[in-house]
Amino acid sequence: AQSVSQHNHHVILSEAASLELGCNYSYGGTVNLFWYVQYPGQHLQLLLKYFSGDPLVKGIKGFEAEFIKSKFSFNLRKPSVQWSDTAEYFCAVEGNPVYSTGKLIFGQGTTLQVKP
Amino acid sequence: DADVTQTPRNRITKTGKRIMLECSQTKGHDRMYWYRQDPGLGLRLIYYSFDVKDINKGEISDGYSVSRQAQAKFSLSLESAIPNQTALYFCATWADPGYTFGSGTRLTVV
């Protein structure tokens, strides 16, 4: 069965610190990969996605993620976080996306707290 | 107006009661989904629908049912609510590049 694991459950950083959130998935075939963000009291919004091509993808608000196929990983990064990045971050995987169903497997989420 | 609207936003209900959560969308997307979010567990898929006549179970469908009344409407029902169904419920539509989520319904079963 597919699964997604996010290593960090709660991360606390100071403003301007660099961020890396880990995400590993288990699925042997082709995947689509996503990072979603949920700001306090709001719904999930798409940060970035990887379908194919360049494994380094750039998203909104200065976020990027790197797909490393050999490690089954899709880690999220940001060089310098801001207080407004305080949110919960979810990694998600869609397996066998030749015929995309939109059925995503989500990780358990990482809460990021940025101190001003 | 929001692209995906969920009602109610908050609901407290008693164990054993039947409750319906409603979702409507203005994006014209065929694919609609219901997820529940629990702390530390992320989002888990309850049901999804590719069109009015195509309804599919997700990973945690037990205790839930759905109705796709029209392309724009996808309702989730709890036939007999139980406390472990207390959660945040999200409806979503799907089209490239990904989901459009509603604002969620916070359901508490007491």
B53 touches chain A (CB under 8 A): no
Q: How many CB pairs under 8 A join A and B?
A: 48
- How big is the CA angle at A103 (ends A97 and A105), to the nearest 5 degrees? 100
Residues of B in contact with A42 (CB under 8 A): 103
What mean pLDDT is reported for chain B? 94
| Average pLDDT of the residues in B74-103 | 93
**Predicted confidence (pLDDT) per residue in A72-111, tens digit:** 999 999 999 999 999 999 999 988 666 667 788 999 999 9
pLDDT of residue A100: 66
* Contact partners, residue B27, CB within 8 Å, separation at least 6: B3, B4, B93, B95, B100
| Average pLDDT of the residues in A55-62 | 95
* Contact partners, residue B17, CB within 8 Å, separation at least 6: B80, B81
Interface test with A, best of B29, B37, B54 (most A CBs within 10 A): B37
The rounded percent of chain A whose pLDDT value lies above 90 is 75
Which residues of A make CB contacts under 8 Å with B? 4, 9, 34, 36, 42-46, 49, 90, 92, 101-104, 106-109
Band (A114; pLDDT cuts 50, 70, 90): very high
Interface test with B, best of A21, A104, A111 (most B CBs within 10 A): A104
- The neighbouring-strand residues paired with B14 are none
Chain B residue with CA closest to A43: the answer is B103
* Helix H or strand E encompassing A49: strand A44-50
Spatial distance between the Cα atoms of B22 and A32, rounded to a whole number of angstroms: 29
pLDDT of residue A29: 81
pLDDT of residue A99: 65
Angstrom CA distances, B33 to A46, A72, A82, A94, B51, stand at 16, 26, 32, 14, 11
pLDDT of residue B53: 93
Question: Tokens representing B33?
Answer: 């989904």
